Amino acid sequence: MKYVLGLSCHYHDAAAALLGDGVLLAAADEERFSRRKHDSRFPEQAIAYCLRTANIAAGDLDLIAFYEKPFVKFERILHQHLDHFPKSWKTFLQAIPPWLGEKLRVESLIRKKLGYRGDIVFSEHHLSHAASAFYPSPFDKAAILTVDGVGEWATTSMGRGEGNAITLDKEIHFPHSIGLLYSTLTAYLGFTVNNGEYKVMGLAPYGDQSRTGNAAYRQLQKVIFLAEDGGFALTPEYFLFEYRDRMPSERLCALLGGPIRHPREPLIDRHHDIAAALQLITEDAVLNLARNLRRRTGLDNLVLAGGVALNSVCNGKILPATGFKDIWIQPNAGDGGSSLGAAAFAWHHVLGNPRNTQPSPMRMSHAFWGPGYSPQEAAAWLQEQGIVFHRFKDKSELITNTCERLSQGQVLGWFQGRMEWGPRALGGRSILANPGDAAMRDILNGKVKHREHFRPFAPAIPRDDAATFFECDDPLPEPADYMLMVYPVRPRWRDKLPAITHVDGSARLQTVRREQHELYYDLLKAFGRLTGMPILVNTSFNIRGEPMVCTPEDAFRCMMGTGIDALVLEDCLVIRAENPSFAWDSEADADD
């Protein structure tokens, strides 16, 4: 068997992905092991996990692929600072030392850390995104759109994939970037860049949703120009990110009617409208790109990757607005997923392996590529720690007990099988609750997640039940399995599903297939038989400031530090109240 390891690190989320004869064997972000959220350091622990899964050593690898070209990226950063000298002097001094360290010495770092002597190849950033979207998709032919902050120079790439080949024939370069526009407004609204963008997406429905009535939308139209050919350009005087350690300029603050919001300052209607306007502008830009790509390629299928592809509100509008008939989005669409893209690029382009079978050997039909623990391992760990727990003899007993607890208003940690690949909890490492409980959103936001009151929660539902409760695309695209699409809740169900229905009547649903996660699917169906609605609140299993839980220890610690009532750990049930000696009060907040 030939093995290819893909790596990403040093900017956003570090990750590793391993292919064996072109088949994805394992993939994980470094943060899940280091417990350092958005960990960008060299992914030693993620690599070790991937190699352990295949029972190989680094010397058994045939090729290692890195997700971008560090020297090209460094060239862009030098140009960026030199073009704005001397205004860029301070940020230049901050930016250069890390580049003179590990960032430029990736090859020697890989060899030193892994003791690896084989070949190492470097993909381009957006080519890695494109490969991560096309090769694991169900399509033999598809248009490709990648949109993020910035790679080496590109911020947006467009092209097509067919069989074994990817061709990216149009790019938009830095500083013109939809991702950086979104991050700039995220900073303006007082949230953390590269971590708070999804909060802005959740805040947007509280603002004016009309393009004619929202004054902030009309103002933001001055910030970005959308061309008829699908391109766009930012108006430079509204941004400082090229040469300052802040992103919004004084002119942008004046345009939006006030200074940058302090994180502890209350959110008011003006902030809500700005968030709504930003979401509308983002949709305008992405849909304009996609419509043009459809006209240029004539293809029916679209694949997406890059951080902006995690904007699930926009994703839910692509098919009806662009003419594409089907869509596939990489579940780990950001830089972490580019480790898989780099490995895919190496497998097909460098090693020359064909993609001539359907389904492709690299086809992703689920997102559970992280570590897993057997029921025996979970029970042994609980016993070793002296934790009181109950063990179920069969799955039906576990499901019945879980459904009863959820119907009674309990909040449960749900730890089953292998960990998810990407930022969404999909039933492997989830917190579950009753969506019909009107108090549940406040309970979860206040006592469990300890986060902002406006944040919505996602519903999980069997795929065959989705159209009954949601106004979704027909046929329903596969990215709904990965919580990447937002759709309206059907009006007759909105009052009955208060915990998952956002203020605008929408929900970011996750559809579940039985072949993907049998136990999770059966739980949803059983809850439907008990309550009349086969839907559960599904949010990520973590404490704010920490990544999603990875191990049984992480899960137990999270439960005991929050308001979670019980933990279903494989076939074991741990009840918080039965383990008072382990309880502690977390001062950290929880993040979705």
Owner of token pair 């900073």: 187
Half-sphere exposure in the Cβ direction for 216 (13 Å, CA): 24
Q: Packing angle between helix 44-54 and helix 106-114, nearest 10 degrees? A: 50
What the block records as the tokens of 524 is: 């949803």
Q: Point out which residues pair with 413 in neighbouring strands.
A: 431, 567
3-class DSSP assignment, residue 77: helix
Give the C-alpha distances (Å, rounded to integers) separating 533 from 193, 462, 491: 37, 10, 15
For tokens 């470097």, the residue is: 122
In order of 119, 339, 441, 450, 456, the CA distances from 503 in angstroms are 53, 36, 12, 19, 8
Q: Which strands, in side-by-side order, build the sheet including 3-8?
A: 23-29, 15-20, 3-8, 63-66, 120-122
Packed helices 375-385 and 552-560: angle between N→C axes, nearest 10 degrees: 50
DSSP one-letter code for 309: G
- The HSE-up count of residue 556 (CA atoms within 13 Å, CB side) is 25
Rg (CA), the chain: 23
State the Cα–Cα distance between residues 37 and 501, nearest whole angstrom. Answer: 28
Residue 292 structure tokens? 């043009």
**Of 271, 185, 171, nearest in space to 224 by CA:** 185
Q: Which of 5, 32, 37 is nearest to 588 (CA)?
A: 37
Measured distance CA(363)–CA(134) in Å, rounded = 9
What size, in residues, is the chain?
Answer: 592
Residue spans of beta strands (DSSP E) within 186-263: 224-226, 232-234
Positions marked catalytic: 12
Please, what is the angle between helix 338-345 and helix 125-134, to 10°?
90
Please confirm whether the linkage preceding 86 is cis (ω < 30° from 0). yes
Residue given tokens 């690190």 in the structure block: 9
Residue 11 pairs in a beta bridge with none
Residue 244 CB coordination number (10 Å)? 15
Dist. CA 495–CA 493, nearest whole Å? 6
Which token pair is 301? 């299928």
Q: How far apart are CA 170 and CA 303, in angstroms?
A: 15
Place of tokens 């918080």: 576
